[in-house]
Amino acid sequence: MKQLLFLVKKRQQLKNYFFLKSACSFYFGLICGNLFGTFLNFLRNEIVWDGTVLIILILFFDFINFLVYKKKFQELYLTVVKNYQIGILIGLFIDAFKVGS
């Protein structure tokens, strides 16, 4: 009985740790996605078209998706990277609504 309670506690701690890492990475990605519009002004001096920056970003995310889904197992760092990516994309989506496009 004690061993069962220990396993249940250990599993609950692991779930809390996993949730904390996932939530923090998602919110950090959301903040980075919202700040992207601010840094885009600096990139406009170097790159002619804003779409180029977004295409490079989307291709990078597709490469990350390829690496994540190529694996047969799900690890914590892959979930953190995926949640960070989702946060950035949602941040870009919200930023697009803010500018009205």
Task: Quick: pLDDT tens for 52-90.
Answer: 777 888 898 888 888 777 766 567 677 788 888 888 888
Q: What are the angstrom distances between the C-alpha of 81 and each of 18, 22, 36, 95, 96?
A: 13, 9, 18, 21, 23
Look at the pTM and tell me if it is higher than 0.75.
Answer: no
Segments making up each domain of the chain, as ranges: 19-99
Task: Take residue 40 and report the two structure tokens written for it.
Answer: 């885009």
**Per-residue pLDDT tens digits for 12-66:** 766 667 777 778 888 888 888 888 777 777 777 777 777 777 788 889 888 888 8
A 10 A CB-CB count for 82 gives 20
Residue 45 gets which letter from DSSP? T
